[in-house]
A and B are shown apart, each in its own frame.
Chain A
Amino acid sequence: MVSIIWGFLILIGIIFSFTTNNLSLVNTEILASSAQALEMFFSMFPMIVLWMGLMQIASDSGLLEKIARKFSFILARIFPSIPTGHESLGLIASNIIVNMVGLGSAATPFGLKAMEKLQELNDKKDTASPAMITFLVLNTSGVTLIPTAIISLRAMYGSANPSEIISGALLATLASTIAGLSIDSLIRKKNKNR
């Protein structure tokens, strides 16, 4: 599936650049994209190392388990296949909370660690487990309460009230999250019945 999308993006891009005379632009991108990826990596790398270190403390002290139990009333419903108090639930809860306040780059390490823990529960190591997919859906629908980057851009372009979009973005986020979780649980139920 990922192969198809990846191949599709490249194919369409290259074939289109033949017809639109953007060949030189595409050439530049081919040569520059790995450097751009390295730049992204450099900005992520220290964050991941730092937060994985802090998370190890939280894991060793049992804090993650405690957080997992605190939120188990809601997480158990969204993730029925994960045992109560499992560390992955604590990581998922932390990932969502950090994401909510708009600190996406600090949230990524929590998400990666949560995936590692979910992989430990997974029987087929090359196939996504239902819990992983639910977590991904929760993550991609972007539960952000305060989109700080957007608000500052709006202010830069002279908005009279840059933060007026907070409530709207929250409503739209809620709609997409609920829709995502619903379709996810529907597919899960359908798969179970088969």
Chain B
Amino acid sequence: MTTISLLLLPILILGIIVYGLYKKVDIYSSFIKGAKDGIQSAINIFPFTVSMVFAVNIFLHSGILDFIFKGIANMLGPDIPISIFPMALLRPISGAASEVIMTDIFSNFGPDSFVGRLSSIMQGSTDTTFYVITLYFGSVGIKKIRYALKAGLFADAIGIIASFLVVYMLFGT
């Protein structure tokens, strides 16, 4: 499987160059033109990166996670590893934050424990919805996102529920 991901980019680039030469495209001029456009696109998305990092960092470091954490812990009792809940909540907001929780679970419970597997699958099965939405819509100047967030979060929720079911099915408790 990893050979596929190693091979993909070189083959993709080879294909682009060979096809361009075959179609007698001035590939170098094309590249420069596209790269120049790329500078513009990259600069266009910077404000969205700043806005998201700013808001998410304030949110993450305010201590609200510990609050939610303890609230759920009191409800469930001490034996259940509750860090999985904030991770599920955080996954759509910040991929880096949920990854930190995942590694925390790994070091406390081990990657082959139920929660270890669950957090791995949760982390792998969805992407950072908020970030993708602000970045992609922001880059082309869309302001009214309509039902995009609803649909994205619905997909995330199903992904999280499916992760639970899958871990039970494949590995048991």
Chain A positions near chain B (C-beta within 8 angstroms): 1-2, 5-6, 9-10, 12-17, 19-22, 25-26, 28-30, 32-34, 36-38, 40-41, 44-45, 48-63, 66, 94, 97-98, 101-104, 106, 108-109, 111-113, 115-116, 118-119, 124-128, 132-133, 135-137, 139-142, 144-150, 153-154, 157-169, 171-173, 175-177, 179-180, 183-184, 187
Contact = CB atoms under 8 A, between A and B. Distances in A.
Contacts, number: 360
> Looking at chain B's contact residues, is the secondary structure mostly helix, strand, loop, or mixed?
helix
A53 B34 contact: yes
Contact of A52 (B5, B35, B127): B35
B161 to A, nearest CB: 8
Contacts of B2: 146, 148
Interface residues of B, number: 103
Nearest to A16: B62
A6 B51 contact: yes
Contact of A133 (B110, B121, B151): B151
B123 interface: yes
Given A10-B54, A53-B34, 5 more contacts: A13-B62, A58-B19, A109-B38, A115-B139, A176-B159
7 contacts: A52-B37, A61-B19, A98-B9, A132-B137, A133-B146, A167-B170, A176-B155
A49 B103 contact: no
A98 B12 CA distance: 10
A112 B45 contact: yes
Contacts of A33: 50, 53-54, 57-58
Contacts of B129: 140
Nearest to B149: A1
Interface string B145-173: 11111111011101101110011001100
Interface of B: 1-2, 4-5, 8-9, 12-13, 15-17, 19-20, 22-23, 25, 27, 30-35, 37-39, 41-42, 45-46, 49-64, 66-67, 92-93, 99, 102-103, 106-107, 110-112, 116-117, 120-130, 132-137, 139-152, 154-156, 158-159, 161-163, 166-167, 170-171
Contacts of B55: 6, 9-10, 13
Nearest to B164: A172
A22 B151 contact: no
B64 A16 contact: yes
A36 B151 CA distance: 29
A119 to B, nearest CB: 4
Contacts of B63: 16-17, 19-22, 25
A125 B148 CA distance: 16
A89 B46 CA distance: 26
Contacts of B162: 171-172, 175-176
A53 B129 CA distance: 27
Which of A28, A36, A157, A165 has the most CB atoms of chain B within a 10 A radius of its CB? Answer: A165
A41 B49 CA distance: 7
A112 to B, nearest CB: 5
A141 B126 contact: yes
